Amino acid sequence: MIAKSITFKNSAKHLLQYILISFNMRIKAALLSVSWFAHAASSSSVGDDITLHAGIMSLPPYAVLTNKTWSGYMFDLANLLMDNAETNHNVSLNIIMNASDPYYMLNVSPSNYSYNGALKLLSPECPFDDCLDMIFADFYDTPERRELVSFTPPYQISYNTYFKRKNNTINTVKEVNENGGSGCLIAGTATYTAVSPYFDTVLDCEDAYDCYDKLMLDKCDLFAGDVLIGKYQIKESYPDDLTYTGEVINKLAYKLALPMKKSLPQSTLQLMNDLMNEATTSGELGNIEKKYFGTSSDIAALEEMYFGGKDDVITNEEDDSGTDTSISATEATDESDSSTVSTRKSFTLVMGVLLLFFS
């Protein structure tokens, strides 16, 4: 009886080992297949023809209307990206942004779109008829906005500062509040959200020029705006009357980047990221900036200075948890491989325990 029991146990053991080994081999084969398909999908080519519908925010020097003809920084940037897609990636990239068509021109003044409101045009659940794939404009890349859209690498890095009348002795928010004054801010912007709590009284503006006019009319004392754009605008339109304090508000900088629809194919998002990085490295992006702003920034050096080489953007609320939710093809492959390895390790552990139990 004992011999039969031992024989049965050994037979059962051998049978289980055979089943487990066979099952293990099948699982490994299946996991290998899944891993291969995931790698193939993540490393697939972008395609030979890509069309993107892009909106434009009408703000000099990014979009400038002269004699009924549109030009500016963003048009040069779009042409550069399309040319480099063909030259460097053998991809026909067609960015449609006909500024004469109200479908693409997102007017800030008269204000039919705020910056935050325009991002809704990139939402997968976009409720409008004029939904877009991306927007060429001076958007700050913030963690809050990354919840809604993907961003390209930055084309500029800037910061907020205060603009004022040259004959106004007030230079700080504290002085504004102590003297019963007010601050001017553009409604619907990241700057408005960050800076408005500091002023006792805030006057809303439709755009920067509306804020400048309020400064000129002595309706407000300080206007908080982007230093790059502001310096350009007051030099062009108010050189004798307005100036800027140079203060880096909250001692924080911002990445200016192009927002894109998150639901675009991953390969398309990655292509746009690659094109922006290539334009920065080659110096072509710096040439465009010098053409319109008179200076050329070292994006890599500024990123290291302000962000320590991190991809995340720290907001004025000191929220450093924001990271880019878009995943590159390489990252997608790494995620798949990591998941496969984890699954194999778990399976091997279970098999080892069962074999030990029946040995």
- Express each pLDDT in 217-250 by its tens digit: 999 999 999 999 999 999 999 999 999 999 999 8
Q: Please state the rounded mean pLDDT for residues 183-197.
A: 92
Q: Please state the rounded mean pLDDT for residues 80-106.
A: 82
Q: Please state the rounded mean pLDDT for residues 175-189.
A: 95
Who has greater pLDDT, 359 or 198?
198
Q: What is the share, in percent, of the chain residues with pLDDT greater than 90?
A: 50
> Using 50, 70 and 90 to split pLDDT, how confident is the model at 307?
confident
C-alpha atoms less than 13 angstroms from C-alpha of 133 in its C-beta half-sphere: 15
Q: Answer whether 177's CB lies under 8 Å from 158's CB.
A: no
CA distance 134 to 151: 9
> Using 50, 70 and 90 to split pLDDT, how confident is the model at 192?
very high
Averaged pLDDT score across all residues of the chain: 75
Q: Which residues pair with 92 in a beta bridge?
A: 49
80's CB contacts (< 8 A; 6+ apart) are 279, 284, 285, 288
CA distance 14 to 8: 10
pLDDT for position 316: 34
Both tokens of 43, joined, read: 């490393």
Of 152, 137, 158, 159, the C-alpha closest to 297 is 158
CA distance 256 to 321: 19
SS3 203: strand
Scanning the structure block, which residue is given the tokens 């991953």?
A: 266
SS3 340: helix
Who has greater pLDDT, 119 or 110?
119
Q: Please state the rounded mean pLDDT for residues 149-178.
A: 96
pLDDT for position 104: 60
**Whole-model pTM?**
0.68
pLDDT for position 18: 46
CA distance 229 to 226: 6
> Using 50, 70 and 90 to split pLDDT, how confident is the model at 259?
very high
pLDDT for position 198: 95
